[in-house]
Structure 1
Amino acid sequence: MKPWITLTLAALLSGCVGIPQGVQPVRDFELARYLGQWYEIARLDHSFERGLSRVSAEYQRRDDGGITVINRGYREADNQWTSAEGKAYFVNEPDQAYLKVSFFGPFYGSYVVFDIDRNDYQYAFVSGPTLNYLWLLARTPTVDEKVIERFIEAANARGFDTDQLIFVSHTAPQAE
């Protein structure tokens, strides 16, 4: 019975670092160019980000070869900033944009960059382990409408429900 439980648990946990069908990680990925500050432009809704605006992510090299991930967002309902720090590691080769990321101990989820601005690394299209996880990240809080159109087209082609996208505000609320 114990081996079955162990195998079942391993299968469940490894399922979190899978790649959705139709999604392929970027090849010839350059981590050094990806590190730094990114702004969340659009996302599919999840409880861990619900109600957040001004969302950003900071990626930094770790001494152990991984990446420190610091996600930050503003919760207007509480009038406060919230942040979470995690760690990420490449699942395969470091030139393939397929990572596993953890914010909760030994539990990892997929982080798959499936499209990127190859010239300047100014925007990235990112998936999680299923078609329920999708983000458009950019180096600036706003992007050209053509980038958003390209993102929606690429996401639709892979089966994401882009009708459910949330476009993230990066402006501070007006004082009354």
Structure 2
Amino acid sequence: MRRLHLLLGLCLVMLLGGCASSAHDPLAPKTAGNVDLKRYQGKWYELARLPMRYQQGCEQSEAHYNLKSDGSYGVLNRCRTLGDEWLRAEGHANIQEPGHTDKLWVEFDNWFTRLVPGVARGEYWILYVDERYHTAIVGSPDRKYLWILSRTPSLPAWQRESLLSKARQQGYDTSRLIWRTADQQIVKSH
């Protein structure tokens, strides 16, 4: 039991040490600055994402955010599969540094996070949000994860290209993006 505690403690120190260094890394992506989290809340459609294990098989994804009275953010991610099934993941987000609303910690509710709270949280950096809060680019500071979000399920080509250009300028590999599948391709044949 003592070895387990030591191992978990060591993993926690390594994880937190790596996370803390990315927040002040001069080579890290630039974030959006002050984000109005009240305006950011609501439903976002995922237009594109970099591949990630947790979203394998997702064809249409949405993120729903709601600001809570304690200052945290409720998070509901859901995706529709080719089998016409909706998968859900619920969690919460908190600001990483007071006064910096563009960098959040996100943690989803599952058996592991209930067992070891705070260890399996991810960095959610808002890299860009337009002035109307209609489009956004979100990524991780290590550039492994990237999401292009919109309040609508599609955008004109010029607007998509503008968002891709912003992501490329931040050092993200947009050639690997997985794009949202059109709604009509998801509907089951009857």
For normalisation by structure 2, the TM-score amounts to 0.81
d(CA) in 1 for partners of 2:92, 2:84: 27
Q: Which residue in the other structure is 2:53 paired with?
A: 47
| CA-to-aligned-CA distance 1:73-122 (integer Å, 9 cap, x gap) | 0111x43110000100011135531100001522211000111111x100
Quick check: which one's helix share is greater? 2
Distance verdict in 2 for CA 1:117–1:11, change over 3 Å: same
Distance verdict in 2 for CA 1:88–1:141, change over 3 Å: same
d(CA) in 2 for partners of 1:85, 1:117: 26
Aligned length: 174
Match of 1:157 among 149, 162, 169: 169
CA contact (8 A) 2:28 2:142 kept: no
Deviation at 1:5, TM superposition (A): 7.0
d(CA) in 2 for partners of 1:94, 1:158: 23
Deviation at 1:11, TM superposition (A): 2.7
SS across alignment from 1:48: helix
The answer to whether residue 84 in structure 2 is matched with residue 79 in structure 1 is: yes
| CA-to-aligned-CA distance 1:126-157 (integer Å, 9 cap, x gap) | 00242110000000000121221122212212
Q: Mean alpha-carbon deviation: is it higher for 66-75 or for 125-134?
A: 125-134
The gaps in structure 2 that reach 5 residues or longer are none
The answer to whether residue 104 in structure 2 is matched with residue 99 in structure 1 is: yes
The answer to whether residue 102 in structure 2 is matched with residue 89 in structure 1 is: no
Q: Which residue in the other structure is 1:117 paired with?
A: 130
d(CA) in 2 for partners of 1:57, 1:41: 11
CA contact (8 A) 2:29 2:141 kept: no
SS across alignment from 1:131: coil
CA contact (8 A) 2:44 2:151 kept: yes
Q: Mean alpha-carbon deviation: is it higher for 18-27 or for 3-12?
A: 3-12
CA contact (8 A) 2:48 2:179 kept: yes
d(CA) in 2 for partners of 1:171, 1:32: 29
CA contact (8 A) 1:13 1:108 kept: no
Percent pairwise identity: 31
The gaps in structure 1 that reach 5 residues or longer are none
Which AA in structure 1 matches 2:63? A
Which AA in structure 2 matches 1:162? T
Q: Give runs of aligned pairs for residues 1-176 of structure 1, distance below 5 A.
A: 6=9, 9-16=12-19, 18-19=22-23, 21-76=27-82, 78-103=83-108, 104=110, 105=113, 106=117, 107-118=120-131, 120-172=132-184, 173-174=186-187, 175=189
Which AA in structure 2 matches 1:164? R
d(CA) in 2 for partners of 1:84, 1:160: 25
Deviation at 1:70, TM superposition (A): 0.2
Distance verdict in 2 for CA 1:3–1:53, change over 3 Å: closer
Q: Which 4+ stretches in 1 moved above 4 angstroms?
A: 1-5
